Amino acid sequence: MRKVFSRIGILSILALSANNALAAKPSDEVLSYCTSVSEMAGSIMRNRQDEVSMAKMMRASAGDPFVDALGAEIIKDAYSTSAFRAEENKKRAVSEFENKWFSICLKAKDK
């Protein structure tokens, strides 16, 4: 009998956790913003994979100090990873990097 109550308690906690996670769905505004960040990260990683120099990337400017600072952080992160030769590996690196920065953005906007 004790095991049954224990399992019910665990299931209740999991259900409450799931409900809280579902209630925390990001707004369309946050999703749009984080999609833009993700796309910028993907573009930067594509350039990294195509061996565009980091110095050239750092000289690029969006004209907005916040966007430029964010871009610099993304560039530093991208250039801390390897460039690949095989196209499939390049595509995977770009996709994973886009997803990483989308997730970082969501976490930052969730606060």
Find where tokens 């809280």 sit.
Answer: 20
Report the C-alpha gap between 87 and 49 in whole angstroms. 9
Q: What is the mean pLDDT of residues 16-37?
A: 79
Angle between helix axes 28-49 and 65-78 (nearest 10 degrees) is 50
CB atoms within 10 A of CB 80: 9
Q: Answer whether residue 41 shows pLDDT above 90.
A: yes
Q: How confident is the model at residue 110 (pLDDT cuts 50, 70, 90)?
A: confident
Q: Do residues 75 and 57 make contact, with C-beta atoms less than 8 angstroms apart? A: yes
What is the structure's pLDDT at 111? 73
Whether pTM > 0.75 for this model: the answer is: yes
